[in-house]
Amino acid sequence: MAPLGARLPSAAAKPGPPPPAPPSGPPPQAKTTRRSFFKVLLTFAALLTAIPFVPWGQFLSSSVSSSGTPKRQKVTTDINKFNGAASGKPVNVNDLATFPPNSSWLVTYPSSGNLTLDSQNPDTFVKWRLIRMPSSLGGDQKAATAFVAFSEVCVHLWCSPNYDPENSNNPADETYQCPCHGSVYRLPDALSIAGPASTQPPPTNAEPMLTLTADPDGSLYIEPAVFDVNHNGVVGYGRYYQSYESFIKPAAESGKTAAAP
């Protein structure tokens, strides 16, 4: 008990509880940010779903047409070390020494008109692999039919295939092969016979090809290309392989451009 006269502390003097903190809540726009994130995620997923059904090759082939109008062009190989003795030379079907059977060279089509610039052009969508076929397929004949020209863009995932049966007598090696994923294309019609490209539906399972002819002197020419799937194909996308027999080969045999239906 407090002594008489002692002053009792007043209620006002008692320390009280600290004032309550202001109510906390989610940062402003948190719900909006989360909602926006899910919208972006769903949009991205929809795009991924659509990718396999978009004919990207049809858009990418614009790099071919934009580099020049498809026209008749005398075949001259690019200037590079890979073309060996044929580097920078016009192709003549009678020249079996410079252009022997079972060999290949890089060419540019459509040409810019300047061989040096063409040779330095890194765009594979205007690069073609000119192949003089093995003798078993008529490569020793002095005719345009001895040659084929395949696109340097694989119709699977756009790597650059090659033809290089060097030091091999195995017919299985006389094919156009992509080193990236193993797609294999046969001569002379460029149909894929192995690897992932062979599992793709037509017309995405055959390489685009050029139409070749030769004049009376033996000079090899590329005829104006028809870049659709029923003729020379769409670079990066493909072509119906039957167009070799119906459109490309007849021109080589007759020496004249095959009429597009």
Could you tell me if residue 233 is inside a domain? yes
* Span 126-184, pLDDT tens digits: 999 999 999 999 999 999 999 999 999 999 999 999 998 764 445 557 899 999 999 99
Could you tell me if residue 177 is inside a domain? yes
Could you tell me if residue 11 is inside a domain? no
The residue range of the domain holding 145 is: 65-254
Q: Say how many residues make up the chain.
A: 261
From the list 70, 33, 3, the residue with the least C-alpha distance to 226 is 70
Query: Residue holding tokens 């060999």?
Result: 103
Give the contacts of 229 (CB within 8 A, at least 6 positions apart): 203, 237, 238, 239, 240, 243
Could you tell me if residue 148 is inside a domain? yes
Reading across the β-sheet that carries 192-194, which strands appear in turn? 176-177, 184-185, 192-194
pLDDT band at 122 (very low <50, low <70, confident <90, very high): very high
Question: Whole-number mean pLDDT of the chain?
Answer: 82
Could you tell me if residue 187 is inside a domain? yes
Contact, 190 vs 150, CB < 8 A?
A: yes
Could you tell me if residue 34 is inside a domain? no
Amino acid at 3: P
Lowest mean pLDDT among 13-22, 75-84, 201-210: 13-22
Which pLDDT value is given to residue 9? Answer: 45
Could you tell me if residue 179 is inside a domain? yes
CATH number, domain containing residue 99: 2.102.10.10
Could you tell me if residue 41 is inside a domain? no
How far CA 86 is from CA of 75, 107, 123, 142, 227, in Å, comes to 12, 11, 21, 17, 28
The structural domain count of the chain equals 1
